[in-house]
Every structure is written in C-alpha cells, then in structure tokens.
Amino acid sequence: MKQNPVISIITPAYNAETFIGETIHSVLAQTYPHWEMMIVDDQSTDGTIEVVKRMQEKDTRIRLVELKENSGSAVARNTAMENAKGRYLAFLDSDDRWMPEKLERQLVFMQERDVAFSFTKYVRTLEDGTETNAVTNAPATVGYEDLMKRSVIGCLTVMLDREKIGHVEMVNIRTRQDYALWLNLTKRGFLAYGIPEVLAKYRVVENSISSNKWKAAKRNWYVFRHIEKQSVWKSMWYFSHYAVLSIRDMIKYKMAS
C-alpha cells in the first residue's frame, strides 16, 4: 500500500439501538486500522447513544456527535463530514455492515488506479441479518448519464478521496441525498469506478424509508426535476429507465429471498 491515510467513516444514526452494535463491530473488524468512525446521532429516543458510548470506551477511533434537534440524515452526514479528519470518506448507515477487508481492498484499488470515487458490490440481507442471493452489480465505470437512468451505487459501498474531489456536501433533502451527490460528482467529471467484489451487507428493514418503493420513486422524480433541473420530458425519459429496472430488481430480490 502506497500510504496509510485516515479513512473517515460517515454514519448517521437515528433510533438505531437494535443494529448499530453490529455495524460498529463490522468496522472494528476491518483489516485496515487507520480509520475514524464519525457517528452523528439525530436525536434518537432509544438507547442508540448508550450503545455507542459503551463501544467508544473500548475504541477511541469511534467519535460521537449529538445533534441538538432531529434534522434528517443529510444534515447528520454533512455534520459528520464537517468534523471528519480523514483524507478519504466512506459511508456506512447504522444498520448495514462491511466485510472485514472492505476498507483495505478499496483503498488499494483507489491508490493503484489514482481515482477519486469508487464503489463495490453488496449483498442484501433480511432484517435478521440472513444473507440472500441478491447481489448488486458494480460496473467498471459509471458516469452521469448512467446514473440518471439507474442508481447502481450503494451508499454503504462508496469511498471518496477529498484531496482530489474537494469539499463534499449532500443536498438537504430527506432521502436520496446520496444519489444527488453521486450525480453531482459525475456531472463534475469524476467517474465512479466499480470494484467487482461483494464487500458490504445491506440490511432490508421493513417499513424503512428506503424500503418504500413508491416513495423512493417519487423522490427520484424530485431529484430529476428539482435537483438536476431536467425538463419534464427528459425526466420522464430517465424515470422510465429507473422504473423498469427497479421493477426487475425487485422481482430478482423477491426470488433471491
């Protein structure tokens, strides 16, 4: 490995008591040791903070920031990024997990190819953590037009090099702020490079914001029209690709589960 830079892990948390311990353990198990985990609590009403503080006592690389009011995951992620010290940013939500080699393999990939933006494959799991056969694709490269037609980048797999990209901030919308960021970066000319390995586990939680496909579709439309400022007709063109591919993916997931 050329260097041993610090990787800042960005983790928003809200009422995550049930799963956040497993999430943190997957970070503690990383073969690459030079990381900090920025957990930003969005005014949880359960025992999330207590779980994090207990684990902080065992490892000082875990850092906790508590928001003064419930503000949503975009604000939580932006707060984490503002306080992050690392050159690299990696994203991990409070109910997802990584494979032990995730950070090490991804950092080597980015350093060897001198790239600023990468992502990996991931496997979907049931709420209880049971793995399914539903594994995402990771195309070799993904550009702006590709992303507008299909969001193939899982937030839990992304790593960014801030030295190359500069300031990173997510637009303050309730969901799909990560998708909007990937679009912004690719529009600026940063291709996303896919690593064809399953290095993360995405937990499908019933009744979560991301699991509601109808709401997700409406929010994609919002991104097309109001964030990307596309015309109605062009938005419809992109949305038709999104809808067809989303239905296909949903059928594949149901079969794999």
Check which CATH number belongs to the domain holding 70 and give it.
3.90.550.10
Residue 256 falls inside a structural domain: no
| pLDDT in the model for residue 209 | 43
157: pLDDT confidence band, cut at 50, 70 and 90?
very high
Residue 85 belongs to some domain of the structure: yes
In a domain, 218, yes or no: no
User: Residue 98: which domain range?
Assistant: 7-207
Per-residue exposure over 187-214, b if at least 16 CB sit within 10 Å of its own CB, e if not:
eeebbbbbbebbbbbbbbbeeeeeeeee
**By C-alpha distance, which of 33, 195, 11, 197 is closest to 117?**
195
Q: Give the residue-averaged pLDDT of 159-174.
A: 94
In a domain, 156, yes or no: yes
Query: What mean pLDDT is predicted for residues 201-215?
Result: 70
Total domains in the fold of the chain: 1
pLDDT at 8 over 90: yes
What helix, strand, coil percent values describe the chain, rounded to 5? Answer: 40, 20, 35
Residue in 170, 179, 213, 202 with CA at minimum distance from that of residue 71 = 170
Say if strands 192-203 and 117-125 run parallel, antiparallel, or are unpaired: parallel
pLDDT for residue 217? 72
In a domain, 251, yes or no: no
pLDDT at 149: 85
What percentage of residues in the chain have a pLDDT greater than 90?
Answer: 73
Q: What is the mean pLDDT of residues 24-43?
A: 98
Q: Is residue 117 part of a domain?
A: yes
Q: Is residue 217 part of a domain?
A: no
Nearest to 92 by CA among 39, 17, 53: 39
Mean of the pLDDT values across residues 142-165?
94
- For the chain, report the end-to-end CA distance as a whole number of angstroms: 38
Mean pLDDT estimate for the chain = 89
Residue 237 lies in a domain: no
